[in-house]
Structure 1
Amino acid sequence: MMAYLAQRVLQSLGVLWAVTVITFALLYLLPADPARLVAGRSATPEVVERVRHELGLDRPILQRYLGYLGGVLQGDLGRSYLQKIQVSELLASRLVPTLELTLAGVLFELLLGIPAGILAALRRGGWLDQGIMLLSFAGVAAPQFALGLLLLYVLAYKLALFPLGGYGGWEHLVLPALALGLAGGGWYARIMRSSMLEVLSQDYVRTARAKGLAGPVVVYKHALRNALLPIVAMIGTDLGTFMGGVVVVESVFGWPGIGQLTWQAIQTVDIPVILGAVTFTALFIVLANLLADLVYPLLDPRVQYR
C-alpha cells in the first residue's frame, strides 16, 4: 500500500504541475491587459506602464512562472491585483460556504441518484425504469443555470418556501444544493442502474437467491456493496470539483463561495486570483480521487493496491 501511495502522490504532483503550467500560459496569452484594468480607463500610458512594472507583468513569462511556482511551493499564491490582499486569504474567506455547498450537493446527489438507480435496475424494462432513466437524462442534459432559475422561480418566488438567494441558514443552502443534486443525481442514477444490473447477474447473487434468501437481503446485503464501487469514484471527483467552486450555481444563487470569487476574478482579469482558484481546485480534485482509490480495496478486497 505504501508503494502504491507513493506512486499516486508522485502522479498527483505531476498533474498539479501540468495544471499550473497550462493555466499560467493561457492566462498570460490573453489579449486583455490587467495593467490597464487596474490603472483605469482614463490612465495615461505612463501610469499603465508603472502599474505593469509594479505587478511584474513586464518580466519574461518564464521568470514570472518560476516566481509563481516558487511561491506556490511555499504556500504563497500571490496577491490580488484589485483587492490588494493575499489570494490565500480570499480563498480561505470563501472556504466555509464552499464546503457547506459541496457536502450538501453530494448528499442530494446520493439521496436522489442511488435509490433511483436501484429501483430502475430492479424494475428493468418496466415503466418505472423508463421513467427514471428519462428523468435522469433530463437532469443531466439541463444546464445548471436553467435548473437554478427554475428552482428559484417555483420554490422561492411562487411558493416562497425558500429565500431567493444569499448566504445564511440551512434554508439558503437547500436550493443551490438541490440544483447540484438534480444534475449529478441523474449521473448517479444511470451509473447505479448499470452497476446494479451487472452485479445482479453475478453467480454469487444467483446462488444467494437459490438458497432461498429474501429479495431485499440479496439486494442490500450481497449486491449493493459491490454495486457502489463506481459511485465511490464519482463521489471523489464531485467532492474535488465542488470544493473548487461551482461557478454557475454560486452565481445564480448569490452564494459567496470560491466559484463566485473565480467568476469575479475572470471578469476583472485578476490573474493571481484565477491562478490560485484553479490550483486550489486541481489540488482538491487530485486529493479526492486519491482518497477514492485508497477506499476502493476496503470496499472490495478483490481490488489490490498496485
Structure 2
Amino acid sequence: MIDVPLSALEVAMVQAGARAVETLRDTTAFAQAMERLGYHRIWYAEHHHSPAIGAFPPVVLAAHAAATTSTIRLGSGGVLAPNHAPLTLAEQFGTLAALHPDRIDLGIGRGPGTFDETIARALRRGAGPTTDGEYRDDVAAILSFLVDEVALGPLPEPWLLASSTAGAALAAGLGLPIAVAHHIRPENTRAVLERYRAEFTPSRWCEQPRVLVCVETVCAETEEEAAWRIGPMNVVKAGLLKGRSDMPFPTPEDAAVHPFTEEERRALAGFRAQQAVGTPETVVHRLAQLAEETGADELMLTTPVYDLRDRIGSYELLTKYSEAMTAP
C-alpha cells in the first residue's frame, strides 16, 4: 500500500501529427482530472526547442490551471533559474500565490531545458552555462526577493529540484524541500538523499528534511498494454541517451517498429526496472517499494504516454486499485 501523497508532473508531450494548441487543451483536461481523482499537486516542466515536448512556460500553465481548478496545488517542476532573472521569477510566482493562496509551488531547477546550445545561449542572452556559484546565488536571490521585494501575501512554496549531490547540498544548505529526479537519473537517487539528509539546515521554508521523489509511471490493465503505452517514450529516451532532442513523440504503432539497437534496449530495460510500469498491482508494489526505500514524503508521477485518455486512465487505474486495497 502507498502511504504517502501522490502528485503528477505534466511534461506536455506533443503527439506526432498534433498541434501545440491541442497539447495545451490537453493540459487543462489533465489538471481537472487530477483534481477530481484527488492528486495532491501538479507541476509543469520547462523545456525548449523540442519537437516532442511543448515549450510552454510553467508559470503560464500553472496560472491557467489554477483558474480552471479549485483545490489542487500547482507550480513549476521546474522553472530553470539560469534562464530567468531572479526578481522576475519571484514576482511571477509571488503574484500567482497571492491570487491563489496556499496552492502555488515554485520548484527551481538548474538545467538549460534544451540540448541545443544556440537556444540555451539565447535563453541566457548570450551567456554560457551557469556555474555552481552563480546557480547558488540565483536561487538565494529568488528566495530573498520573494520575502523582501514581493511579499504580496501568502508566498509560494519553494522546492529545489535535484538529480546530483551538488543539488542536494544546495537544497540542504538553504533549508529547502527537495524534489529528486528519479525519473531522469535513478542511479543518483540514493546518494542525493543521503547528502541532503546529512547536511540539512532548518530554515523559514522547512524545519526538517522534506523529500519528493518523481517516478516515471505507466499503469494499464495488462503488462503488455503498459509496455505498448510506454513505447513512444522509449523512442524519445533512446534519442536523449545519445544527446539528441530532435526525436518527435511517435504513435505507439510507430514506436512498436522502431529499430532500437541492442545497447539502447539494454539501457532502456535498466532504466525501466527502476521506474513503475505495468499492471495496477505491479505499479502499486513498485511505488510503495520506492517510497519505503527513499523515505519519501511524497511521490510525483510522470506518465508520458501518447493519448490523453490513456494518460488519465493510468492515474485512474492506480487510484482505483489503491482505494480497493485500503477499503475495509
Per the normalisation by structure 1, the TM-score is 0.22
Task: Give the helix-richer structure, 1 or 2.
Answer: 1
TM-score by length of 2: 0.21
More strand by share: 2
**Which of these two proteins has the greater Rg computed from alpha carbons?**
1
